[in-house]
Amino acid sequence: MFPRFVAVLAALLTGAPALAQSYDIYENGKVFTSRDDLPYAEAFAVRNGKVVAVGSTQTLRVLYPPTKPHVRRVDLGGRTVIPGLIDAHSHVATLTRPEYVVGAPPSAWAPTHGPTAQELWDLVAARAAQVPFGTPIVGFYGAGLYEGLNSLGMTARAFLDSATTTHPVFLVEWSGHAVAANSAAIDDAGLRDFQPDPYGGWRGRDELGRYDGVFQEFAVLPLVKRLAGRISDAELTAQYAFYDGGNTAQGVTETHDFMFVDEDERFAVVRAGLPRPSAFQPNCIITREGKQCAPGYDGVIRRKIFVDGTQVSCSAWVPVQYLRPELCPMGFGAVNAGMGIRNMTDDQVRWVLEDVLVRGGMVSVHAIGREGIKQILRLLEERDDVRWGDRVSIEHFVMPEPGDPTDPTKSSDVERAARLGISVVVTGTHNLLIPPMMTEQHPGHLLVGTQPHAELLAKGIRTGAGSDAFGPAAPSIWFDILGLTAAGQPVSVEQAVRMYTRGSAEARMRNDVGTLAAGKRATFAVLSQDVFTVPLPQLPDTTALLTVVDGQVVHSVGLLAPATP
């Protein structure tokens, strides 16, 4: 059925000499362009890595007839084609070596409370009895740890010290915003009691002011960097290549990587060793006051700041106290009156915004809780002389305040974002993971209007999507797309795919990709099924039969072209 397709793409894959004036015509497909003017087409033409025409099969046969020199036709046979998916928000680098890890991964139990304190203690003690002194022990936890510690009246440090004092223990809270550590891990990371809290981070303390073993937000950096430092650059490069292979097998052609555990210089070394360095676009996290991020490979500076945290460690910033402090770190009520964590002062945020205006590029702002969202909106509105446009995106935007139907002068946070012209980047799996924690910890009025995906689109806000995943394996993007259609304010599959293509491109200043249009890069995927018509539960089964970047095949399953090694 596809002899022409196989012959053409076999030549491309086997390195046959390219013709400078050659045209590849992909025809007889269901081509989703992610455009407003022409959402669907049947065919498109590619020349020298760029799309040169999009339309019906008949139109392209007129434009590029068989008599035209160097025209090669690819019969799609009715298959669905989309622009290459763009994961706008991910954390690719693995945090630790797998042999250090004990217990089940968070994917097995999140968003529940996870393992109990006793279960974690048993895992740590059993591993400590098996491995040499000094070997790190790493696990993952949720609210179950805090619930147990509060019940026992013990600090995390004392509790884990009772399991082992000869092995550094790093328990990572599953959203990545906190770490519980024993004395050996604290010492291993070079931390000493009574040091002041760092920029954007909080260290829990006992009644004497010593560290109690719980580190939140940027206070986790010395601990996590110590773990990641045990992984070589060569191993990280291999992991990134493996991650990219998992991505292209789903039709993902670009990932925006928020490097949390290492400085930008190390990432540059890792990316340089990849077969396809452009697969990962670095987004620099500002982890210290005054940090000036370097441009990415395309010359654009992309920064990230955190104005609050997540509900997992009670660090999402809200206007009223958390309902169940026993599920929060010990001493939580002393931090911001038990209403979450405010990571940055107004002046610290203003400095970042000024850096965007002076040096260009953009900033992504993590804001989940209602007060975190309000802080960034208020500071943007202060500068009524600035058109923020694509210079700012808010990541997650989970708990905006709705408008007041009885007071037309009181705008919703969505309307404020729309007036500012900024972008929002959302995550489908958050639709499934965050609501149970919000319901448990916040009064009902804070839950109104949460995860307003449909409203964002209705207000014309550029809305991208990202997995918010951690390595080492690529996440299931089609499961995340299912999440966007399944909860919160659900959107259609077409809207979700548009978020992961055009929306992500616009939110990350990547306007040469994201749509199939003349002049754009020829970056697209041929899918294994028609995602716009299959039953929703089957979406996660979607794979890419063929993934093309800049006109070159980067993945094939062998049905339409020789299989990718």
Res. 374: pLDDT tops 60: yes
Q: How big is the chain by its Cα radius of gyration, in Å?
A: 25
Q: Tell me the three state secondary structure of residue 88.
A: strand
Res. 9: pLDDT tops 70: no
Q: How far apart are CA 469 and CA 92, in angstroms?
A: 7
Between 342 and 5, where is the model more confident? 342
Q: How far apart are CA 155 and CA 184, in angstroms?
A: 15
**Average pLDDT along the chain:** 92
Under the banding of pLDDT at 50, 70 and 90, the label for residue 268 is confident
Please give the structure tokens belonging to residue 371.
């007060």
Res. 13: pLDDT tops 60: no
For the chain, what percent of residues have pLDDT higher than 70? Answer: 94
Between 20 and 453, where is the model more confident? 453
Q: How far apart are CA 245 and CA 288, in angstroms?
A: 33
Under the banding of pLDDT at 50, 70 and 90, the label for residue 372 is very high
Crossing angle of the two packed helices 370-382 and 413-420, in degrees rounded to 10: 30
Q: Tell me the three state secondary structure of residue 553.
A: strand
Res. 316: pLDDT tops 50: yes
Residue 5: how many CB atoms within 10 A of its CB? Answer: 22
CA-based end-to-end distance of the chain: 24
Q: Dihedral through CA 121, CA 122, CA 124, CA 128, nearest 10?
A: 130
- Please check whether residue 42 is in contact with residue 29, taking contact to mean a CB–CB distance below 8 angstroms: yes
> For residue 262, what pLDDT is reported?
63
Residue 479 burial by CB count (10 A; 0-12/13-18/19+): exposed, middle or buried?
Answer: middle
- Please check whether residue 325 is in contact with residue 332, taking contact to mean a CB–CB distance below 8 angstroms: yes
> For residue 15, what pLDDT is reported?
41
Of the candidates 197, 200, 217, which has an alpha carbon nearest to the alpha carbon of residue 352? 200
> For residue 358, what pLDDT is reported?
97
Q: What residues form DSSP beta bridges with 73?
A: 25
Name every residue whose Cβ is closer than 8 Å to that of residue 215 and which is 6 or more positions away in sequence. 178, 179, 180, 181, 201, 202, 203, 204, 223
Segment 334-353 shows an average pLDDT of: 95
Under the banding of pLDDT at 50, 70 and 90, the label for residue 7 is very low
Of the candidates 524, 485, 501, which has an alpha carbon nearest to the alpha carbon of residue 45? 524
How do residues 531-542 score in pLDDT, each as one tens digit? 999 999 999 999
Alpha helices (H) in 421-501, listed in sequence order = 430-441, 453-458, 477-486, 493-498
Crossing angle of the two packed helices 117-128 and 143-152, in degrees rounded to 10: 100
Phi/psi zone of residue 144: left (φ > 0), alpha (ψ -120 to 50 degrees), beta?
A: alpha
Please give the structure tokens belonging to residue 60.
């392209």
Segment 283-292 shows an average pLDDT of: 92
Q: What residues form DSSP beta bridges with 43?
A: 55
* Alpha carbon separation from 324 to 259, 398, 441, 468 (Å, rounded): 32, 20, 6, 26
The alpha carbon dihedral of 437, 364, 456, 406 has a sign of positive
> For residue 11, what pLDDT is reported?
45
Res. 423: pLDDT tops 80: yes
Segment 486-512 shows an average pLDDT of: 94
Segment 269-280 shows an average pLDDT of: 90
- Please check whether residue 338 is in contact with residue 284, taking contact to mean a CB–CB distance below 8 angstroms: no
Between 269 and 155, where is the model more confident? 155
The alpha carbon dihedral of 516, 518, 520, 524 has a sign of positive
* DSSP conformation class of 470: B
Instruction: Name the strand (E) or helix (H) holding 32.
Output: strand 30-32
Alpha helices (H) in 131-273, listed in sequence order = 143-152, 156-161, 183-188, 221-228, 233-248, 264-272
Q: How far apart are CA 473 and CA 78, in angstroms?
A: 31
Q: How far apart are CA 28 and CA 48, in angstroms?
A: 21
For residue 48, give the amino acid letter: N
Separation of CA 326 from chain center: 29
How do residues 38-72 score in pLDDT, each as one tens digit? 999 999 999 999 999 999 999 999 999 978 888 98
